[in-house]
Amino acid sequence: MKKVSGYMKKYGKEAIFAPVFKLLEASLELFIPLIVANVIDEGINGGNATSVYRGVILMAALAVVGLGFSVLGQYFSAKAATGFACDLRGALYKKLLYSPLSVTDEIGVSAMITRMTSDVNQTQTGVNLFLRLLLRSPFVVIGAVVMAIYINAEISLVFLGVVFVLSVIVFIIMKSTVPKYGEAQAKLDDVALTARENLTGVRVIRAFGVEEDEKKSFAQKTGAYEKIQNFAGKISSLLNPLTFATVNIGIIVLIYLGGIKVEVGILSQGAVVALYDYMSQILVELVKFANLIVTVSRSLASAKRIEKVLDNDEKEEIKDKVRISDEYIEFKGVSVDYSNGGRAVKDVSFTVKKGRTVGVIGGTGSGKSTIVNLLPRLYDASEGFVSVDGYDVKSYSTEEIREKVGIALQRPAIFEGTIRENILLGKKDATDDEIIKAIEIAQGADILRAKGGFDAPIEQGGRNLSGGQRQRLSLARVLVKKPEILILDDSSSALDYATDLNLRRAIADLDYGPTVFIVSQRTASVKGADEIIVLDEGRIVGKGTHEYLMKTCEAYREIELSQTEGGNLK
């Protein structure tokens, strides 16, 4: 928990002031029963009105001062907790943003969202209560016991017995609930994942009429979460009744023994009332402490989940920059393994000359996207090497290599804002002329006309754009950057054939001559490439021009015939 707790260092002053002021407040509370005892013994029983007035004024003064200490304690604890949570959430977000995609894939999007929201909130609540009550409650309990010993050592054994029994109860319940709260947060990940999938795929769910199936699946996930929460909640709920029962039994014993000692003149009536007040203070503080234990248990479970992310020190490997190839781009014996042990690409080798256009084609899951994702180091090769400009891509930092590479995806990420703001993500200082040029090359001039110009609002995820418009806007964002290596990863799948053809022609006519990779399942998109690479189950099964592959590669020929009107797969 070192990394999570390390974010409290910045708030060391607040973390000290908060418990100090709460202890000062508690100290004043411990004097109240003694003042009440004096008022009863000297003022009421002794008929001294001055003692009564003096006692009331003193208690009122202590209440005002105690309130001030309490407010200050609350302020510092809240400031430390909210600041800690803000810094922790920022660090977690940054960690997830800059971690390799293999880490992101392993954790999962829903789990990341849960960690940055629910887990951080739980941890913040735990820190807040920890600073306010961890020292205050034990201090009051111990102080009440000491005061009881001061009043009467023999009768204080009742206090010690009550504190011991309650300590055992708290320990047992805490030991039982802490693991369950960790399991509950893991189940919450499943709930978040199901909800996210249903929200993003709501149209598909409705189209196939499987709403009831999804409702049952969601009910199962929430039911599992509810079951663990109920189990932990039932155990935690025992704290208050057991605490009240134990303390009230102690109060009964206290009053019985105190009454006997009053009868024989060992104790005064005021002393018995003071002892009762101290027992009541113990009750209140132990109830608070019990609730603190429950909250801290949840917070620790959440903090452990956050710590797993922060502890992940997988960093990009930077090799020495040594020339290893005479080719502009070379893949040599490249294999890529998934984090779960599966192999996505197996022993892939090919070279690409600068300015050439390469088509990458194959069935779903054949490894097309995996291969092109190695160029901008979204993933790294498990075996072999990938080189750009003669140097291993691992000798470039991610910033360096991604300056050279631009990638447009089949499912583009469009952000809430304006058309201009989305395109400027590709190049922050792009001029209006550059933006217009990029949009024209991406065949998106009609988007500007339809939406009303650069500053037309774009909704989150591009909800107010069609699939083709989103893809063309994403292409314009990449093209405005003018990358040396342009990757089109099925980025025109939503376009009609005529628009796709015009797009490919416009890219082929680019004046700065980038090296282009076109990833597609449509042979029409890659026919004009200088070289086409055909993949099947992660291996290269064909390489060459369209005409050559039609003669020599059965896999390519089957794809072509299946997509040609009247095609025959004989």
Which residue segment(s) compose the domain that 517 sits in? 329-563
The yes-or-no verdict on residue 569 having pLDDT over 50 is no
Between CA 326 and CA 334, with CA 330 as vertex, the angle to 5 degrees is 140
How far is residue 169 from each of residues 76, 268, 293, 478, measured CA to CA in Å? 31, 33, 11, 62
SS3 383: strand
**β-pair partners for 340:** none
Position 570 confidence tier, pLDDT thresholds 50, 70, 90 = very low
Q: Same domain, yes or no, for 344 and 250?
A: no
The yes-or-no verdict on residue 542 having pLDDT over 50 is yes
**Last residue of one domain, picked from the residues 310, 338, 373:** 310
What tokens were used for 48?
Answer: 């001294």
Q: Residue 408 falls within a domain, yes or no?
A: yes
Q: Same domain, yes or no, for 303 and 335?
A: no
How many whole angstroms separate alpha carbon 52 and alpha carbon 57?
A: 9
Could you read off the pLDDT of 70-128 as tens digits, one per residue?
Answer: 999 999 999 999 999 999 999 888 888 877 777 777 777 777 888 888 889 989 999 99
**CB of 535 closer than 8 Å to CB of 568:** no
The percent of residues above 70 in pLDDT, for the chain, comes to 97
Please spell the DSSP secondary structure of 502-546, one letter per residue.
HHHHHHHT-TT--EEEEEES-HHHHTTSSEEEEEETTEEEEEE-H
Average pLDDT estimate for 144-163: 83
How many whole angstroms separate alpha carbon 195 and alpha carbon 202?
A: 10
**CB of 308 closer than 8 Å to CB of 115:** no
Position 372 confidence tier, pLDDT thresholds 50, 70, 90 = very high
Q: Residue 58 falls within a domain, yes or no?
A: no
For the chain, how many structural domains are there in total? 2
CATH code of the domain containing 285: 1.20.1560.10
Q: Residue 219 falls within a domain, yes or no?
A: yes
Q: Residue 556 falls within a domain, yes or no?
A: yes
Q: Residue 404 falls within a domain, yes or no?
A: yes
How many whole angstroms separate alpha carbon 225 and alpha carbon 183?
A: 9
Q: Same domain, yes or no, for 390 and 260?
A: no
CATH code of the domain containing 528: 3.40.50.300
Average pLDDT estimate for 493-519: 88
The yes-or-no verdict on residue 187 having pLDDT over 90 is no
How far is residue 473 from each of residues 326, 430, 445, 446, measured CA to CA in Å? 36, 15, 10, 11
- H helices of 264-327, in order, are 269-310
How many whole angstroms separate alpha carbon 355 and alpha carbon 528?
A: 14
Q: Residue 47 falls within a domain, yes or no?
A: no
The yes-or-no verdict on residue 568 having pLDDT over 50 is no
The yes-or-no verdict on residue 206 having pLDDT over 90 is no
Q: Same domain, yes or no, for 478 and 377?
A: yes
What tokens were used for 199?
Answer: 């929200």
The percent of residues above 90 in pLDDT, for the chain, comes to 29
**β-pair partners for 417:** 458
The yes-or-no verdict on residue 523 having pLDDT over 70 is yes
**b vs e for 251-284, b when ≥16 Cβ sit within 10 Å of the residue's Cβ?**
bebbbebbeebeeeeebbebbbbbbbbbbebbbe
**What sign has the CA pseudo-torsion 318, 322, 327, 330?**
negative
How many whole angstroms separate alpha carbon 524 and alpha carbon 499?
A: 12
Q: Same domain, yes or no, for 335 and 273?
A: no
Q: Same domain, yes or no, for 528 and 496?
A: yes
Q: Same domain, yes or no, for 101 and 159?
A: yes
Average pLDDT estimate for 384-409: 90
Q: Residue 387 falls within a domain, yes or no?
A: yes
CB atoms within 10 A of CB 285: 23
Task: Give Cβ neighbours of residue 295 (< 8 Å, ≥ 6 apart).
Answer: 125, 126, 129
Q: Same domain, yes or no, for 270 and 415?
A: no
Task: Give Cβ neighbours of residue 479 (< 8 Å, ≥ 6 apart).
Answer: 406, 426, 438, 441, 442, 486
What is the model's pTM? 0.69
Q: Residue 489 falls within a domain, yes or no?
A: yes
How far is residue 392 from each of residues 64, 322, 326, 347, 397, measured CA to CA in Å? 71, 8, 12, 17, 11
Average pLDDT estimate for 349-376: 91
Q: Same domain, yes or no, for 290 and 371?
A: no
Could you read off the pLDDT of 219-252 as tens digits, one per residue?
Answer: 998 898 888 888 888 887 887 788 888 888 888 8
The yes-or-no verdict on residue 196 having pLDDT over 90 is no
Q: Specify the range with the lowest mean pLDDT, choosing from 160-169, 176-185, 296-305, 387-396.
A: 176-185
How many whole angstroms separate alpha carbon 304 and alpha carbon 299?
A: 9
**CB of 158 closer than 8 Å to CB of 221:** no
Q: Same domain, yes or no, for 284 and 394?
A: no
Q: Specify the range with the lowest mean pLDDT, choosing from 45-59, 308-322, 407-421, 486-500.
A: 308-322
**b vs e for 351-362, b when ≥16 Cβ sit within 10 Å of the residue's Cβ?**
ebeeebbbbbbb
The yes-or-no verdict on residue 352 having pLDDT over 60 is yes
Which pLDDT does position 98 carry in this prediction?
77
The yes-or-no verdict on residue 567 having pLDDT over 60 is no
Task: Give Cβ neighbours of residue 126 (< 8 Å, ≥ 6 apart).
Answer: 295, 296, 298, 299, 300, 302, 303
What tokens were used for 351?
Answer: 């070279």
**What sign has the CA pseudo-torsion 228, 233, 239, 244?**
negative
How many whole angstroms separate alpha carbon 1 and alpha carbon 304?
A: 7
The CA-based dihedral angle spanning residues 407, 410, 416, 422, taken in that order and rounded to the nearest 10 degrees: 30
SS3 388: strand
Task: Give Cβ neighbours of residue 124 (< 8 Å, ≥ 6 apart).
Answer: 81, 82, 84, 85
Q: Same domain, yes or no, for 478 and 411?
A: yes
Q: Same domain, yes or no, for 303 and 424?
A: no
Could you read off the pLDDT of 245-288 as tens digits, one per residue?
Answer: 888 888 888 888 888 888 877 888 888 888 888 888 887 887 78
